[in-house]
A and B are shown apart, each in its own frame.
Chain A
Amino acid sequence: MLIKGGRLIDPADNRDGLFDLLVEDGRVREVLDPGSATAGEVVDASGCWVLPGLIDMHAHLRDPGYEYKEDIETASRAAAAGGITTVACMANTDPVNDNPSVTQYILDKASGVGLVRVLPVGAMTKGLKGKELAEMGLMRRAGIVAVSDDGRPVLDAGLMRRALEYAATFSLPVILHCEETSLSARGVMNEGELSSRLGLAGIPAAAEEVMISRDVLLSQYTGVPIHVTHISTRGSLEIIRQAKQQGIPVTCDATPHHLLLTEDAVRTYDTNCKMNPPLRHEEDRHALIEGIRMSQVDCIATDHAPHARDEKDLDFDLAPFGIIGFQTLLPALMKLHQDHDIDFSQLLACVTRNPARILGIEGGTLAPGSRADIVIFDPAPRWTLSEDMILSRSRNTPFIGWTFTGKVVRTMLGGVTVYRAG
């Protein structure tokens, strides 16, 4: 198959220009100058961008246990439609993915669906309870790619140290949701003047920054790399920036919503603007955007977190944290590219090359020999997100009604088309 006429953007292979892509047996056979080859099957990508399939290193697929919110099939459809070909899914399912049989269930179901590569992230501690180490080694054998106690941060510093050292034994990347829960307490939004005005309990920036500081020091002491997920404050970025400067092996990601929204969105008590960490100030948002420009923020990950309508249609105090994000990831990157003049290939690296390196997985590139996980993206059309476009089982997103630029035309997994725009 020849994908021809498109602009190939592949940060991992340092390419950005007009190239044709020859795909054979599910792999990229050659990257060619335009028009220099022919093939039996030709995909015309003229006017489009040809990108490596996106890697979302932080998502909640809710399967097993919460299939009323989402399951591996609905999640896979939504991801494929968003140009995402690889999804790392967090362990807070029911049962928790803290043992190899749950890992195996997820992998089996995902390969049965066959639309995206689902890479399970195992729990660091049994039941995400922060008390005893989970069976990281056996889960590694079953197929997890990382460990994380996302959403239920390990508060015991001694246990965190052991978890880092033990994870390193099995070369498991450690993804940390950094939150000192005694500081966030019952908070539901960013703490500050606005939370006081709205009468909502606040989550101070320090809740995140205190824990990042602790974990950076533990990483320095143990030498074990850590990846801090969904950083939300300027202070967090500053701690990580300094740590990197000192050579401490720390990486981080930010979510599209923390890059596009601020706490201002909470003014109407819209529970689709309730997430953890919370939306912060404009200066935090700008710091994160600059962090991407300066390559201090390594990845962009959705923290895709489906919740049913009747769960979100509660008081702001009571509604669960989180929003969906698969189908708005690429649109968000385009928006950042256009509004903030960041090189698109730099943004693309945050969802291809960089997460592949941090997780130590194949993918995130279309260099010759790579797996043909490919997105064909038309950068021109302007469109407005409406609920009926959402393929997830849940529709909890604050981006309904937003106008975006660029649409996924086709997504391929190992050379097989798994999504085509209707």
Chain B
Amino acid sequence: MSWAHKDLIAIQDLSRDEILTILEASTSFKEISRRDIKKVPTLRGKTVVLLFYEASTRTRLSFELAAKRLSADTVALSASGSSFQKGETIMDAALNVLAMAPDCIVIRYPHAGLPQKLARELPCSVINAGDGTHEHPTQALLDMYSMKERFGSLEGLRVAIVGDIRHSRVARSNVYGLTKVGAHVTVVAPDTLLPPGIRGWGVEVSRELDPVLKDADVVMMLRVQKERIDEQFFPDEREYAYFYGLNRRRVDLMKEGAVIMHPGPMNRGVEITHDAADGDRSIILNQVENGVAVRMALLYLSMGGNVDAD
């Protein structure tokens, strides 16, 4: 099967088979990352522009490494904290980037919708590296890859996603993806941190963490942002940690073989304690390693790579 999409904007747009195709392709790219010489000529002569309008060293480095290992040229444009303002329209900026003749634009942006617009308007590939509270598809794919690597199959896997689902594009992309591939997802949060309408998304919703822990194969903790306290989504960190934080006592409630994930960066002591983050069950560092492989696969597929080739 060949890859039909020029762009990767949202997990919502992908079918179950397409998700599995990406995960499968990632395996061969992970192998490359473990070689002595971590570089293949697959994308030689291609240019990847990394357009980061929001601070994110980890995701940017992961994409940069992925592109370099495929021998693509990379140009990184960072304008942290800024977005397009009156005077410079979005399309003006896009056309400027287009003048660099990129084959692929990887974009991280603080507001929802721009990657979709660019994909529609530009001839090159566009990969969404996170847009506002909309989606972060590559993070979800690397999360799913990490789960599949660990458990063999995603079908029937029990995944608990804990925390600020409302403001988390990572949580949303994971919910869309995991439910498509047949995993059983439970989101755990106070009602204030649930997105409106989530009950129609094929997930279970729990207000309590403890009862969910004993059945979960994967416990994914989400970062809690301090500004949510100012906005009165919950009273304070102490209360949040008491009800929704992952600590040693809760880790002990988890079943044999269950793992802990976190998309990072972590707020240690709030949603996750040191011993939970760094303990045996944590596969947080695997997530980081797998991120490069999955992004290599996506760059390759988006720029016209054929799944059967190579």
Assess whether A193 is in contact with B131, with CB atoms less than 8 Å apart. Answer: no
Question: Can you name the residue of chain A whose Cβ is closest to the Cβ of B199?
Answer: A193
Assess whether B111 is in contact with A197, with CB atoms less than 8 Å apart. Answer: no
**CB of A416 within 8 Å of the partner chain:** no
Assess whether A193 is in contact with B196, with CB atoms less than 8 Å apart. Answer: yes
Assess whether A316 is in contact with B113, with CB atoms less than 8 Å apart. Answer: yes
Contacts of A198 in B (CB 8 A): 112-113, 134
Assess whether B196 is in contact with A317, with CB atoms less than 8 Å apart. Answer: no
User: A192-B197, A269-B116, A269-B117 in contact; A317/B132 too (CB < 8 A)?
Assistant: yes
How many residues of chain A have a CB within 8 Å of chain B?
A: 24
Q: 0/1 per residue, B182-198, Cβ < 8 Å to A? A: 00000000000001111
Question: Can you name the residue of chain A whose Cβ is closest to the Cβ of B131?
Answer: A199
**CB of A310 within 8 Å of the partner chain:** yes
Question: Can you name the residue of chain B whose Cβ is closest to the Cβ of A314?
Answer: B84
**CB of A313 within 8 Å of the partner chain:** yes
Contacts of B90 in A (CB 8 A): 313-315
Q: 0/1 per residue, B88-127, Cβ < 8 Å to A? A: 0111000000000000000001011110110010000000
Give, as a whole number of angstroms, the nearest-CB distance from A261 to chain B.
18
**CB of B12 within 8 Å of the partner chain:** yes
**CB of A202 within 8 Å of the partner chain:** yes
**CB of A311 within 8 Å of the partner chain:** yes
8 Å CB contact of A200 from B112, B172, B200: B112
Assess whether B89 is in contact with A315, with CB atoms less than 8 Å apart. Answer: no
Within 8 A of B (CB), among A305-330: 309-311, 313-318
**CB of A63 within 8 Å of the partner chain:** no
Contacts of B197 in A (CB 8 A): 192-197
Q: 0/1 per residue, B218-249, Cβ < 8 Å to A? A: 00000000000000000000000000000000
User: A196-B172, A199-B132, A199-B135 in contact; A315/B196 too (CB < 8 A)?
Assistant: no
Q: In the bound complex, what is the Cα–Cα distance between A193 and B200 (angstroms)?
A: 8
Assess whether B113 is in contact with A313, with CB atoms less than 8 Å apart. Answer: no
How many residues of chain B have a CB within 8 Å of chain A?
A: 30
User: A193-B196, A194-B197, A196-B196 in contact; A315/B91 too (CB < 8 A)?
Assistant: no
8 Å CB contact of A191 from B117, B196, B201: B196
**CB of A36 within 8 Å of the partner chain:** no
Contacts of A318 in B (CB 8 A): 83, 111
User: A192-B197, A195-B196, A316-B111 in contact; A268/B116 too (CB < 8 A)?
Assistant: yes
Within 8 A of A (CB), among B1-55: 12
Q: In the bound complex, what is the Cα–Cα distance between A192 and B132 (angstroms)?
A: 17
Q: In the bound complex, what is the Cα–Cα distance between A313 and B91 (angstroms)?
A: 8
Q: 0/1 per residue, B72-93, Cβ < 8 Å to A? A: 0000000000011111011100
Within 8 A of B (CB), among A156-207: 191-202, 204
**CB of B60 within 8 Å of the partner chain:** no
**CB of B262 within 8 Å of the partner chain:** no
Give, as a whole number of angstroms, the nearest-CB distance from A222 to chain B.
33
User: A315-B114, A316-B111 in contact; A199/B133 too (CB < 8 A)?
Assistant: yes
What is A's interface to B at a CB cutoff of 8 Å? 191-202, 204, 268-269, 309-311, 313-318
A-B contact pairs, 30 of them (CB 8 A): A192-B197, A193-B196, A194-B197, A196-B172, A197-B197, A198-B112, A199-B131, A199-B132, A199-B169, A200-B113, A200-B134, A201-B133, A204-B196, A268-B120, A269-B117, A309-B89, A310-B86, A311-B86, A313-B89, A313-B91, A314-B84, A314-B90, A315-B84, A315-B109, A315-B111, A316-B112, A316-B113, A317-B112, A317-B132, A318-B111
Extra pairs beyond A193-B196, A314-B86, A317-B111 (16, CB < 8 Å): A192-B196, A193-B200, A195-B197, A198-B112, A198-B113, A199-B131, A199-B133, A199-B169, A200-B113, A268-B116, A310-B87, A314-B84, A315-B113, A315-B114, A317-B112, A318-B111
What is B's interface to A at a CB cutoff of 8 Å? 12, 83-87, 89-91, 109, 111-114, 116-117, 120, 131-135, 169, 172, 195-198, 200-201
